[in-house]
Amino acid sequence: MPSTLQRSGRRAAVLALVAITAAASWLLAVNTAQAQPEDVALLSQDRPASASSVENPDYTPASAAFDGDPGTRWSSEFADPQWIQVDLGAVFDLKRVDLVWEGAYASSYAIQVSTDGTDWSTAYRTQSGKGGSETIALDAPGRYVRMHGLERATGYGYSLWSFDVYGCTAGDGGGSGGAAAVEVTGTQGDWRLTVDGEPFTVKGLTWGPSTAEAERWMPELKSMGVNTLRTWGTDASSLPLLDAAAAHDIKVMLGFWLLPGGGPGSGGCIDYVTDDSYKSQTLADIVGWVETYRDHPGVLMWNVGNESVLGLQNCYGEGEVDAQRHAYTSFVNDVAVAIHAVDDQHPVTSTDAWTGAWPYYKANAPDLDLLSVNAYQVVCGVEEAWNEGGYDKPYLITETGPAGEWEVPDDANGVPDEPGDIAKAEAYTQAWECITGHEGVALGATMFHFGTEGDFGGVWFNLIPGGNRRLAYYAVAEAYGGSPQANTPPVIASMDLGLDGPVTGGEEFTVRLDTVDPDGDAVEYIPMVNSAYINGSWDMLLADYTVNGDGTITVRAPEILGVWKLYVWAEDGHGNVGVESASFEVTVPDVEGRNVAAGKPTTASTFQEWGGHTPDQATDGDLATRWASEWADPQWIQVDLGERTEFHTVQLVWETSYAAAYQVQVSDDGRTWTTVHETSGGDGGADTITDGGAGRYVRVLGTERGTEWGYSLYEFGVYA
């Protein structure tokens, strides 16, 4: 999971001019539409364009249909279907499309629109295209517009001299009633946030669902007492969230993502000391979105970046990271100056993962209006850090919740010991007490996380996994003074797997639960398993289980080796759920006899030289080493037992890259082979094969891989 009040005029005029100039081409259409929201304007000229194909990239690119030059054109390859699309940069109310075809026109085509470039709706379709000039009336919102050619009228491709899109700003910037005036007011140690002059304590949650679902969830959030939502990014898809939030008197803290976030895995590394191109383009993009949404009544403030000061340690070594952190926070200040130049109604902050980032902001970002930090288990230490740092700005907690995977101790199986529902709920309660206890400095929180995923990370943090309310949901609602439904979730006070050690694949074990439903509702148990600590998957898989008459649950262990997590979901039929988890280890079944392959010469068709996964590592008796083949079928691995040997069992311990189909073969000379076992239903884990045989050489011949990778064995045992 796995992460300031007085503005300085320093460089303000210069940076504002830079930001506005860099964003000029982007802002032209936006500002024209905002100034006269009812006037239809040309939106598509010189906007980014793409196409399914181009006949000649040098002479007929997609951009030629949007360049305003009647002598240039786009043309596709000679095949059906094809498409060409334009990104307008923001969501607009689309009113008209004008197409001017070259001789290669479409007899059947559709005009489609999208707010995100992924989900498309058809606004117009014809099967009788005539070519020449065509005008299509539209009445739909969209940021992306495309012509989807379904059938060519000629033997050539599709070709457009021009593709012009007209419209006006969607909803006059979105929402109604105009922007609220949001300010940080007060003096040192006695600050407050105000909205239109009224005190406003941030009682928030981070937002997880699609913005298309925003209206569905707003009544729920309102009943919890939530008045603020936080996002990490801002784009055209933000508008439905802003509109729905404003309609329910909820504000949104709009975020702007800056690299690297929590590190390379969050989007890549950047050099803030030297990469002026990234900084200027990012600054222009941010200013553009501020211009788009600054007048929306749903906006509370702007949040520039997330956890990048900490994340830079994953990009740079000790000798470089300090300079990068200073350069990053200086850039954040440049962004704050540029935002203030175009929007004086909303504060600007920047979030990081620990208070150790604050000295960099103190040194380099005086134009921020307040500080922000994500803090989970250590949230109650933020007040002390603020006092010791001598800061002159208030702060927000932009993420908090139960102790994260990176903070808890390991359990007996060596994986992070996830808190139960009771502990998680108590963590939210305690966090809010500590935040509100720093009166006049901590201005509230957006707790983590209003998400619906029921996967590995979702169960750890989401208040509504699978759309079900859990105990932490009600704890947050109580902290925020909300009035949620009276019926509350089942509470699993304890869960015992009854295991003293590892289990073998396919072995059954009995789970005992101590569950209480406060409302006396019947509880349905749904056991799930997860392999995140084996292969990194966050997916929940339905366990192979039986609920017994005494309330215990019999679970059959999966075949794949390693440490699994068992999750028991307890649902009450009223939209509530209790979830408890525990880990268990699946290991290799014991085999009687002596492993006559141990330490014997082993060869293979191929092995991954770059990983050093040589054949002998499958017969070294060490389950931490493995053989891995190249990524192709077929492959084989064989062991020379030294002399003809009778055996009763072969045990194969597969890594994630297993064989879906394979044969076990024997030979006396290493050339002529006899098959003693064959399967086409391999599923990985440990295969204990009791089809015995005799020979000097024993071979596993993989004929079909179970994954896109090669074949990989931790152990290839032959028992006599």
pLDDT tens sequence across 534-576: 989 999 999 999 999 999 999 999 988 999 999 999 999 999 9
Supply the pLDDT for residue 27: 32
210 and 352 in a single domain? The answer is: yes
Supply the pLDDT for residue 636: 99
Q: Which domain holds residue 285?
A: 178-479
Report the CATH number at residue 283.
Answer: 3.20.20.80
Contact by Cβ (8 Å): 307, 358: no
Supply the pLDDT for residue 439: 98
577 and 651 in a single domain? The answer is: no
Contacts of 601 (CB under 8 A, 6+ apart): 616, 639, 640
Where is 432: in which H helix or E strand?
helix 421-437
Supply the DSSP symbol for 236: T
Tokens encoding 466: 């699978």
Q: Do the domain assignments include residue 699?
A: yes
Supply the pLDDT for residue 248: 95
Supply the pLDDT for residue 434: 99
When divided into structural domains, the chain yields a total of 4
pTM surpassing 0.85? Answer: no
Angle between helices 276-293 and 24-35 (to 10 degrees): 0
Last residue of a domain, one of 447, 479, 511: 479
Q: Do the domain assignments include residue 4?
A: no
Identify the residue with better confidence: 68 or 370.
Answer: 370
Angle at 154 between CA 148 and CA 155, to 5 degrees: 105
Q: Do the domain assignments include residue 512?
A: yes
Q: Do the domain assignments include residue 417?
A: yes
Report the CATH number at residue 611.
Answer: 2.60.120.260
Supply the pLDDT for residue 46: 86
470 and 322 in a single domain? The answer is: yes
Question: Average pLDDT, stretch 50-77?
Answer: 94
**pLDDT at 265 > cutoff 50:** yes
Please report which confidence band the pLDDT of residue 344 belongs to, taking 50, 70 and 90 as the band edges: very high
Question: Average pLDDT, stretch 696-705?
Answer: 99
Please report which confidence band the pLDDT of residue 168 belongs to, taking 50, 70 and 90 as the band edges: confident
Burial call 543-576: b when 16+ CB within 10 Å, e when fewer? bebeeeeeebbebbbbbbbbbbbbbbbbbbebeb
Nearest to 346, CA basis, from 304, 301, 296, 305: 301
100 and 120 in a single domain? The answer is: yes
Percent of the chain with pLDDT over 70: 93
139 and 189 in a single domain? The answer is: no
Last residue of a domain, one of 141, 173, 205: 173
Amino acid at 684: G
155 and 291 in a single domain? The answer is: no
Last residue of a domain, one of 537, 557, 587: 587
| C-alpha–C-alpha distance, residues 461 and 39, integer Å | 46
294 and 430 in a single domain? The answer is: yes
Please report which confidence band the pLDDT of residue 175 belongs to, taking 50, 70 and 90 as the band edges: very low
64 and 212 in a single domain? The answer is: no
| C-alpha–C-alpha distance, residues 298 and 290, integer Å | 13
Tokens encoding 464: 């509504």
521 and 645 in a single domain? The answer is: no
Q: Do the domain assignments include residue 562?
A: yes
Question: Average pLDDT, stretch 444-471?
Answer: 97
Supply the pLDDT for residue 41: 82
Q: Do the domain assignments include residue 7?
A: no
Report the CATH number at residue 552.
Answer: 2.60.40.10
- φ/ψ of residue 563, rounded to 5: -90, 120
| C-alpha–C-alpha distance, residues 619 and 622, integer Å | 8
Supply the pLDDT for residue 170: 56
Supply the pLDDT for residue 35: 33
**pLDDT at 390 > cutoff 60:** yes
Q: Do the domain assignments include residue 277?
A: yes
Nearest to 490, CA basis, from 458, 461, 515, 463: 515
Mean pLDDT for the chain overall: 92
Supply the pLDDT for residue 30: 33
**pLDDT at 10 > cutoff 60:** no
Nearest to 580, CA basis, from 482, 495, 690: 495
Distance of CA 292 to the CA centre of its chain: 25
Tokens encoding 93: 């109310």
330 and 256 in a single domain? The answer is: yes
pLDDT tens sequence across 497-525: 999 999 999 999 999 999 999 999 999 99
577 and 612 in a single domain? The answer is: no
Question: Average pLDDT, stretch 253-262?
Answer: 96
Supply the pLDDT for residue 169: 64
Contact by Cβ (8 Å): 64, 33: no
Please report which confidence band the pLDDT of residue 264 belongs to, taking 50, 70 and 90 as the band edges: confident
Least confident of 160-174, 589-603, 687-701: 160-174
Dihedral-angle region of residue 46 (phi above 0 means left; psi in -120 to 50 means alpha; beta otherwise)? left
Do strands 190-195 and 371-374 pair parallel, antiparallel, or not at all (unpaired)? Answer: unpaired
**Under DSSP, is residue 555 helix (H, G, I), strand (E, B) or coil?**
strand
Where is 456: in which H helix or E strand?
helix 456-461
**pLDDT at 7 > cutoff 50:** no
Supply the pLDDT for residue 19: 31
Nearest to 716, CA basis, from 633, 631, 604: 604
Question: Average pLDDT, stretch 7-22?
Answer: 28
| C-alpha–C-alpha distance, residues 57 and 203, integer Å | 52
273 and 353 in a single domain? The answer is: yes
Supply the pLDDT for residue 228: 99
| C-alpha–C-alpha distance, residues 282 and 349, integer Å | 17
Q: Do the domain assignments include residue 244?
A: yes
Question: Average pLDDT, stretch 158-172?
Answer: 83
- 301: buried, middle or exposed (CB in 10 Å: 19+, 13-18, 0-12)? buried
- In Å, what is the CA distance from 86 to each residue of 138, 163, 537? 16, 9, 36
